[in-house]
Amino acid sequence: MNHNDFHKLLHLVLDSKANPPLTLFAKGFDDWHSRARLAHFLAMEDLDKKADAIELFKTIVEQDVDEESAEDIEEKVFALQRLSVLERENEETYNDALRHIDLAIELAESTDYLYKYILRGELWADRWLTLHKQGNTSAAEAEADERITAYKDIPIEHNSYLYYGYRFKAQIAASRGTILIAKDFMHMALSAIEIPETYKEDLEVAFSATHDNISWILNEIDRATPSPDKIHWDI
């Protein structure tokens, strides 16, 4: 990837349906923030430039951040997280995916900032999903249990570690066909977030399904749950 490649891809993104403002990339190729932002757009399904996105994301792995800026840290964490998710799609890069999500977790947890978009629990869940894909499900479950044990008794109501920990355990229970256990874990997950009244009826309908298609049930529960980026989190 060089300046010329960057500008060609930038114009592709600027002319796309996404139509982002040019100011996002104002500092050009030499600025890692611009490269990361361009990579996010290239990774979108409509553009189908995931290989280029991965190449750009990789250029920011060793970049320093301003440790006094929550926004700077969050932007790098988000880039590392997205890189890991892309690498998780290919069996040959599972190890890279694990390494990059580990870097994201380490950076995110190096401060006490309450980020605007990044959720520490979600980062851990991405790690567990990668371990599960590698066949290390027992290790992922053990880590989820450790996170749950570490955070279940702290005096906060809206806890991303608990939500994503129990949600992961529900997904694994579903993969094993244990429907009631999966539902129980999802009830525990939802107890860690705020559920507005307007969502409760649809959630009750989703949980009350009596058929044995647990993947469909969990999907309906997710659809009836408020989006994580639209609710308040304490951690």
The tens digit of pLDDT for each residue in 113-143 reads 999 999 999 999 999 999 999 999 999 999 9
Q: What is the mean pLDDT of the chain?
A: 96
What value does the mean pLDDT take over residues 27-54?
A: 95
Strand ranges (E), 81-132:
none
pLDDT for res 97: 98
pLDDT for res 212: 86
Q: Closest Cα partner for 79 from 21, 28, 118, 25?
A: 118
**Whole-Å CA distances, 178 to 69, 113, 171, 231:** 44, 38, 10, 29
Reported as a single tens digit per residue, the pLDDT across 182-229 is: 999 999 999 999 999 999 999 999 999 989 899 999 999 999 999 999
Rounded Cα–Cα distance for residues 104 and 132 (Å): 18
Q: Which residues contact 202 (CB under 8 A, 6 or more apart)?
A: 223, 224
